[in-house]
Structure 1
């Protein structure tokens, strides 16, 4: 099936030392796991406007992608789904520390949110985060250690629990632990989790980006799956950046900048909206308004005090995620 079998076209072993094989008419975009279909369309449209240009893709969980780039994956640009993974590249000298000033909306051309996908008829009557802790519900989402997608799920569920339990840390931790206990398998990335839910038919609910729930229903039929938007979710920005060290070595900086700017253009924004992503262009937003249910979105800054604090308290070694994830 196209959505589940589409492979990345760039080899993960491509090394920085091979930069001489590149030219200014070629880019490698390292992106998040469930963005394959999106960038097939984006790249086709961009190349149509820029004949002679080649855009190669690499897809995996963004934390894994960031580590691969540090280890030598020669990506000219990254289109990630989590700020902390680009900050990891900053700390390793690959991306400038003011990267969010290079493009609009803090370098996030589009956004999404953790949403639910259930089977036809919603047999377990799953409506909100509360339902995920019921003993009769199995939950599917990927490993937060390797997937930015899953980290947003973890943070969105935590934000809900903080409201529900009035910031009682013990009750919040117990709530999130119960959700994790109901996950039968932790895949490494969002697309593998989709495969587990759709093809292997494990679980009662898949938690993933709204854009992925939209794509699954579009491909496999709206009669087979239903999208459920929870009462509150977390704003999931999709940051982009030029990998300065690679782009400068390859002489591809101008092309990299042009490519990422295309994501903000009306043509790019329409492709993104068609693929279930929420965009900033007002005309495109109005055109696709009916596709996006109303939802109250909270932010990492408002709930958790920003990404630096999230990294320190939740995602660092020994942090809250480690305590909850345990030996799973």
Structure 2
């Protein structure tokens, strides 16, 4: 009898070994276009505590990424810059409806806002959103139809105009249309727009997240570009989520959760701050306080009534964006 028990235990162990071996050791993170360097560093820090694991990255405009996942891109997690693109995945059955309850701060580990990058010395004296409608200013930002980055720029400009014109929608739309008219080329994503501005030397001002402007200024030097923070901007949160349909299929949920949890850890927050993102961890915020000047930030709920309303009024077919942007 004892021999049978021993034999049974040994067989059970042999059966369990292949099951353990099948646990995935690789994740795919689908992220926004200008987050490449950030996640190289985040991944390196995360993998120090997870030997044998690897993280693959995919970067593009988040609307494009969301569509790619629906069409077959097997991303275990998304680290996006726009809530509506994760909500799109919810509607397609890829992410759970209560995804914002899965992680702290409505599943947003860090934040930023649309900011300006100008030529060294600021020769056009660009200081605020109203300077973007001047006839002598050429503005660079990506296509709002494909880039969450650009949608934040559009919304931040609209928020400024709503204040400036006392909510007069005709004047707000005229203001936004003039900004669009001043854009010589619309790239599909934020990184391509950066290339257009810095390397091709097109335009007078680049509008992108503060985190990106800080990185570009550091990379190219003060003799090439400099950052300008406007008087007011829009809070840009960076939502994250497990792609449930993919994680459950691959059995990667536990690893995916550990990865996204790491972004909230002190180490993960410090990496984000080093790459120009504003974080929630109080200790890390204190360490980097001198690097982040104060700015008045408004949010989508205050100004626009939330993302669902924004989607219907601005970004849906026939919405304000399509009316102003036309067929471009």
Q: TM-score, normalised by structure 1?
A: 0.93
Cα distance in 2 between the residues matched to 1:289 and 1:52: 36
Counterparts of 1:209-220 in structure 2, within 5 Å, are: 209-220=209-220
Cα distance in 1 between the residues matched to 2:105 and 2:69: 24
Partner of 2:115: 115
Partner of 1:272: 272
Deviation at 1:23, TM superposition (A): 4.6
Cα distance in 2 between the residues matched to 1:138 and 1:290: 31
Counterparts of 1:264-303 in structure 2, within 5 Å, are: 264-303=264-303
Aligned structure 1 segments of 4 or more residues deviating by more than 4 angstroms: none
The root-mean-square deviation of aligned C-alpha atoms, in Å, is 1.0
Q: Deviations over 1:51-85 (max 9, x none)?
A: 11010000000000000000000000000000000
Deviation at 1:222, TM superposition (A): 2.4
Partner of 2:231: 231
Partner of 1:131: 131
Partner of 1:70: 70
Deviation at 1:290, TM superposition (A): 1.1
> How many residue pairs were aligned?
308
Q: Deviations over 1:187-228 (max 9, x none)?
A: 000000000000110000000000000000111112321100
Q: Deviations over 1:155-214 (max 9, x none)?
A: 000000000000000000000000000000000000000000001100000000000000
Partner of 2:25: 25
Q: Give the 3-state SS of the residue equivalent to 2:230 in structure 1.
A: coil
Partner of 2:14: none
- Asked whether 1:159 is paired with 2:159, we answer yes
- Asked whether 1:206 is paired with 2:203, we answer no
Partner of 1:327: 327
Cα distance in 1 between the residues matched to 2:227 and 2:234: 16
Q: Give the 3-state SS of the residue equivalent to 2:146 in structure 1.
A: coil
Counterparts of 1:40-189 in structure 2, within 5 Å, are: 40-189=40-189
Alignment gaps of 5+ in structure 2: 1-21
Cα distance in 2 between the residues matched to 1:105 and 1:176: 31
